[in-house]
Amino acid sequence: MACDRCDWNRAAGDRFCSGCGEALRGRITLRLVLGSLLCLICTYIISYELIGIAVLFPETLNGLRSASTYIFIIVPTIVYLFEIGGVALQTYFVLLVAACFVSAFFLFRDVPENIHKAMTQKDYLPFQDSALFRVSTLFAALMTFQMSVVLIVILMGYELESLDIGSYPAWAQLFSLVEASVWEEVLCRFLMLGVPVSTIAYLTRKEGRNWKLALGGFGIDRTVLVFILFSSFMFAAGHLTNWGLWKFLPTFAFGLGCGYLFSRYGLHASIMLHFTVNLMSAGTWLSGSEINSISMIVFPVMILGLYFLISYMLRASRFLRDMFAGDQSI
């Protein structure tokens, strides 16, 4: 958390803030090293997934010509509104793909500048505070958490229910996973988090607040936290129909991660976290084998994720303690 003099002192080239005493340039820590490694891994995964979309795009567009799907909402069960097909479905898919590529652009937009600061000025804080760093480390932490839940459920003797999209042709899998990555974020983060927060800000006439708040990036206070919890609950409840009760806890945690990214950085960050997790099967589509460069990365990611899972849990507890000890605003 920065005070109102941190940016001024950082611009002046100072190493510490004259207002709060916070270090402004950072130092090389275990968190930075492990996070940087995860950034490299996630950059590779996201690039692979985007290539997978590009390769399967013509086949998917052609397959959708004779297919149809339902536009749905979460209330918290899934409610199907209307059916679309043909050209309308193809247009919908193009918009979904465009949203993924645009989100990736915004995710990586500041990376060159942040790396330049780290290399030339030894200023590591901008990189550690970047959307890419947060997406990468949350990706690992949430993967570790979900696999831990899966292992516990299996050891307890319960059968895991799941949505079997593996039997779908590759183009149908691609459409389903890309749709979930974007549309579920629109429903649960934009509509259930961004719109309420921007509406409250408008009604209370908070300084500097406008409609752009609906796209996220407004920070976190008590009000925002309530809507993060609400949207995460709705997100998790919407997965019960096709996945079973075991899915609620890891999906709720995933919703918290997406809610944090949305509130801290914007809609593009939550879409990219969702996208990175969902499109992991791109390795199978492109290689034709279950054993590929993406699947081989999963175990190292979860090892690194254990560190960040513990780290984020500790940071969240401290943040909540400080939040309720004082009066923070959006």
| Average pLDDT of the chain to the nearest whole number | 88
Count of alpha carbons within 13 angstroms of residue 254, beta-carbon side: 31
Cβ atoms within 10 Å of 66's Cβ, excluding its own: 9
Which percentage of the chain shows pLDDT scores above 90? 62
pLDDT band of residue 207 (cuts 50, 70, 90) is low
Cα 58 from Cα 112, distance rounded (Å): 32
pLDDT band of 172, cuts 50, 70, 90: very high
Q: How far apart are CA 285 and CA 56, in angstroms?
A: 9
Residue 295 token pair = 């699947």
Q: What per-residue confidence (pLDDT) applies to 260?
A: 97
107 close to 114: Cβ distance less than 8 angstroms: no
- Give the separation between CA 222 and CA 138, rounded to whole angstroms: 22
Structure tokens at 6: 């941190």
Residue type for position 21: G
| DSSP per-residue codes, 153-215 | HHHTTPPPP----TTS-HHHHHHHHHHHHHHHHIIIIIIIIIHHHHHHHHHTT-TT--GGGGG
| Sign for the pseudo-dihedral over CA of 163, 278, 288, 99 | positive
Quick check: 125 and 14 in contact, CB under 8 A? no
The predicted pLDDT at position 330 comes to: 41
Stretch 249-263: mean pLDDT, rounded? 97
Helix (H) or strand (E) holding 150: helix 131-155
Q: What is the CA radius of gyration of the chain?
A: 21
pLDDT at 23 over 70: no
pLDDT at residue 54 greater than cutoff 90: yes
Q: Nearest Cα to 48, choosing from 227, 280, 265, 249?
A: 280
In this prediction, residue 1 carries a pLDDT of 46
310-325 pLDDT, tens digit per residue, is 999 998 888 888 777 7
Residue 233 to residue 188: CA distance in whole angstroms? 9
The DSSP secondary-structure symbol of 25 reads S
Model confidence, pTM: 0.89
% helix, strand, coil for the chain, step of 5: 70, 5, 25
pLDDT at 43: 97
Digit-coded pLDDT (tens) for 73-131: 999 889 999 999 999 999 999 999 999 999 999 999 999 999 998 888 888 888 999 99
Q: Is cis: bond before 126, omega within 30 of 0?
A: no
Q: How many residues appear in the chain?
A: 330
Cβ within 8 Å of residue 120, ≥6 positions away: none
